[in-house]
Amino acid sequence: EELRSKEELKRIQAVPLVVGHFVEMIDENHGLVTSTGGTNYYVRVLSTIDREKLKTSTSIAMHRHSYSVVDILPSESDAAIQMMQVQEKPDVTFADIGGCDMQKQELREAVELPLTYPELYSQIGIDPPKGVLLYGPPGTGKTMMAKAVANITTATFIRVVGSEFVQ
C-alpha cells in the first residue's frame, strides 16, 4: 500500500505543474494559494508537504488541474525573479538589426542620447526621458533593439517579460 502511495505521488508530481505562492493554511489539510496569474484558490495540501515550510509567499508547485499543493520550491526558483535576469553585456548593434530604421532613430533620440549626453538636455532646460516602452507582436525586434541600446550606452541589460508587470 505504501509503495502504491509513493508511486501515485511521483505520478502526480511528474505532470506539468503550475507555479504559485502560498498565502495561508486554512485548516489541517487545506490552504489558500495564489497562482502566477494572481487568482486565489482554496486547495488541498498533500499530506507529504512539510507544513512548517509553508510560509506566506513561499513558492510552491501545484497540480495543473486541482491546484493541490504538491511540492515546495526552493526560494531561488521564484518565477518573478527568474523573469528579471541580468545578462552579460549584449554584443548586438543597430547594424545587426534589419529594417526598423524609424524605430532605431527614435530609440537613439529617446534613450541613447539622454544616457550618453545628459548635458544636452540640461542645456536646453528639459528633463531627459526616464525610459521607454517597446511594444508589438513577437519577433519584431524589440529585444534586439533594447540590447543594441544597452551595448552602445554600456548600460546593464535586464530581460523582463512584460506580462510579469501585470501581475
Burial 133-166 (b: 16+ CB within 10 A, else e): eeeeeeeebbebbbbbbbbbeebebeeeeeeeee
- What pLDDT sits at residue 24? 92
Q: What is the pLDDT of residues 32-77, one digit of tens each?
A: 998 877 788 999 998 888 999 898 888 898 888 888 898 898 876 5
Distance (Å, whole) CA 52 – CA 75: 15
Please state whether the predicted TM-score (pTM) of the whole model is above 0.75: no
Domains of the chain, earliest start first: 2-77 (2.40.50.140), 84-166 (3.40.50.300)
The helix or strand, by DSSP H or E, that contains position 145, with its residue range, turns out to be helix 142-153
The helix or strand, by DSSP H or E, that contains position 158, with its residue range, turns out to be strand 158-159
- What pLDDT sits at residue 29? 92
**Amino acid identity, position 121:** Y
Q: Which residues of the chain have pLDDT under 50?
A: none
- What pLDDT sits at residue 42? 94
- What pLDDT sits at residue 165? 58
At CA 85, angle to CA 57 and CA 155, rounded to 5? Answer: 135
**Amino acid identity, position 60:** I
- What pLDDT sits at residue 63? 84
